Chains A and B, each alone.
Chain A
Amino acid sequence: MSIAAAPSAVAGRRARLDWPFLIASVLALTVLVALVLVDGQPAAAALLVLGFALGAAFLKTEFSFTASWRRLIVRGQADGFLGGLLLIAIAAAAIVPVAALVPGFGGAIAPIGPSLVIGAFVFGIGMQLANGCGSGTLYTVGGGSGRMLLTLAFFIAGSVIGSLHLPAFLRLGGIDPILASNYLGPWGGLAATWASIAVAAFAGIAMARRRGASYVPSRRIVFGAIAIGLLSIAVFAAGHHPWSVTFGFTVWGAKLATAFGVDLSHAEFWQWAGPKRALGDSILSDTSSLTDLGMILGAMAAAAASAPFARNPWPPLKSLLAAAVGGLLMGWGARLGFGCNIGAFIGGVASGSLHGWVWFLAALPGCAIGIKLRPLFGLSRE
């Protein structure tokens, strides 16, 4: 009996493989890696491959900030939130000391002011309407969600609009970045970062216990946090800065706008050295674009390796509208707030930068409002 069942199980697994999309994703990664290697950019090849691994890890472990923050707000359930903190604690172990001690490496820093707070707040609303943050958008797009394809398009558009507004918001004021290692040294900075993560974890546990909700992360969440945390360290090693997502979207949108005749070169944002260089250079020279592209392809490969790809029907119109509005708000908010959950929250906190926690505290009430708005678009609050 078992001998007869074995070949049919293998045949079943093979039937679930979606060969066209699996081959396309692996082939696309191979071509992109070859292109950057021809240019003598091994670090770019590493970022593409690491992005691919991140996409597969996110998809396979279903690691999500949006859903876990929604569970935290609605039910007081802290399991996913604690998983996110574990990820940050792992990344911080390398980022805080290396950024402080090794020339050429740097942490994710950002000014603290109205732009950061407003941007993170608006991002929080958007991520609940879209049902995915920056990384969530990438891996669900790669995973075959047509709805999130729309979110990505509007995320890109919103981030270009945000790039045009950011200089004006920066003129509202703010203070220079506050980095723990600048005050406490590399190891004191790491201790302070871990202490701040521990305080947040205890706050999450206390909230869950008070509301009678669970807070112990499942094995899947713990495995995802460890895998993604280690991969984000590898991204830091290859790119010399913490992993970020949304600047790539801004570059893609700006290049697309330029291709359609819109001249962005006179806009203040695009005159700053980094954005100016990114607008002129190949997309495959930008660190965040490399991991973004790798993530989409990695999620696509992982999805196509386990089930027929993109076979779900399109969602209702109201859900598509939420995807578009959410994407637009996230794009605009990410530019003003100096990134998303990855670049601002994970990257910021894992660098020992105070702006990471300010971003989180501003994004959370935005999420609460986004959750209240979800029923308007036919989405559940949970």
Chain B
Amino acid sequence: MRLVYAIVFSIAFVALVAEHLSSPSSGRPVSPEDFAGACAPCGAPCPSVSK
């Protein structure tokens, strides 16, 4: 299990750093709730707007 952990941890960390370096990042961390019309933590619209 220890070896599996070491492998998963290493691959995930390298992938995370590579993804960060190759992707745009905003000025401050954002949540989907920061966007207009978001009605839930995932950014789903309100039922009254969806209708």
A279-314: which residues lie under 8 A (CB-CB) from chain B? 280-288, 290, 293, 309-314
- Is the CB–CB distance between A176 and B1 below 8 Å? no
B47 lies within 8 A of A287 (CB)? no
Q: Enumerate chain A residues within 8 angstroms of B29, measured Cβ to Cβ.
A: 36, 41, 43-44, 47, 239, 284-287, 290
* Interface-lining segment among A55-63, A85-93, A106-114, A121-129: A106-114
Instruction: Name the distance in Å between A175's Cβ and chain B's nearest Cβ.
Output: 6
Tell me the bound Cα distance from A28 to B8 in angstroms.
Answer: 14
Q: Per-position contact with A for B12-34: 1 when CB-CB < 8 Å, else 0?
A: 01001101110111111111111
Please count the residue pairs between chain A and chain B whose beta carbons lie under 8 angstroms apart in the complex.
Answer: 172
Which of B9, B17, B46 interacts with A31 by CB under 8 Å? B17
Please state if A175 and B47 are interface contacts (CB–CB under 8 Å): yes
Q: Please state if B47 and A314 are interface contacts (CB–CB under 8 Å).
A: no
Select from chain B the residue with minimum beta-carbon distance to A174.
B47
**In whole angstroms, what is the CA distance A171 to B49 when docked?**
11
What is the bound-complex CA distance between A174 and B37, given in angstroms?
16
Within the complex, the shortest CB–CB distance from B49 to chain A, in Å, comes to 9
Q: Given A170, A278, A312, A338, which contacts B1 in the complex, CB threshold below 8 Å?
A: A312
A322 touches B (CB below 8 Å): no
- What's the Cα separation between A40 and B5 when bound, in Å? 32
Knowing A173-B47, A239-B29, A280-B23 are in contact, say whether A274-B38 is a contact too (CB < 8 A): yes
Pairs across A and B, CB under 8 Å, 6 listed: A36-B29, A110-B39, A176-B48, A241-B34, A273-B37, A274-B43
